[in-house]
Amino acid sequence: MTMTMIDSDNCWTAVLARDRAADGRFVTGVLTTGIYCRPSCAARHPRRENVRFFADGAAARAEGLRPCLRCSPDDVSRDERAVLAAIATIKAAGQPLALAALAGEAGYSPAHFQRVFKRHTGLSPAAYARALMTERAADALTGEGNVTEAIYAAGYSGPSRFYEGTQGRLGMTPSAWANGGKGAVIHWAVVDTTLGSMLVAATDKGVCRLSFNEGREALEKRFPQAELIEGGEAFAALLGDVVAAVEAPGDFAHIPLDVKGTAFQEAVWRELQRIPAGETRTYAQLAAAVGRPKAVRAAGSANGANNVAVLIPCHRVINTGGGLGGYAYGLEIKRKLLQKESQ
């Protein structure tokens, strides 16, 4: 049966762009040739009036079409099964596994499996495994118990490997995570901007919070045991860079961040940072960009979990129909940010 729940115009746009992220979301049936293809198929584009879109290969075959020999559209589901199986294996092992072993189980070459896995998850198998370990360690360290035990329980061979593996990710020490920020120093300030009152906070690793219409209480809630210092000479320079970036949005890559999320959240945040100023993406496009085209709702949740507004530009994501969608700090601020960037 044809796809009635997906906008055929969006499908056609993906076909014209040969968008690999759209592979697996639908197949393109060409009535004049009797074949169906992946959206990314390298073959010459058919005429639009000769095209129908189907949910999958089975639906296309039910209409009498056959798979394209050039792009092998039915292998998309095989890729998905291979990635899901590898994820289950990685989770069961609790640590990174040899790429060759994972690829061998899937029946792929290591190089091809690396590309397939990254297309679906946004990370390599090794990076995915490390992200899971870091996530488990962070979760364990925020609860009760011994720090060293938590590190071993997360799958690390020892504290030194944990510190090496999480350098630049957690920002704070394990004991700080375990005790609500105890021992951590966070400098902060609230400044007036053309968008309203803005809270900026940073560890020695980088900005850990940027929000609007919030104050010290927002930091106290997350890090009740941290040492919160308002202002500071070293912090002043970073604060100036942040304010300048917000007032004249553009490239924020030079501003260091100290953020942490799940593997999927961090993949979404990286994609957000790749959206050029003055451009927008839909939630569906964001999900597709991280290799999870069906995870539109999850991509929206990851978008909303961003703790560093503007610098990780979640305001550049809108609804498929062109509506602004949601924004944690109000649609008026989102509208103003987009207007600034379009000038």
Active site residues: 37, 314
Helix, strand, coil fractions of the chain, as percent rounded to 5:
45, 15, 40
Token pair, residue 272, equals 């957000």
Separation CA 52–CA 72 (nearest Å): 18
Separation CA 254–CA 246 (nearest Å): 13
Nearest to 283 by CA among 320, 331, 308: 320
Nearest to 29 by CA among 6, 7, 62: 62
DSSP 38: -
Contacts 24+ apart (CB under 8 A), 319-326: 319/282, 319/283, 320/7, 320/10, 320/282, 320/283, 320/284, 325/283, 325/300, 326/300
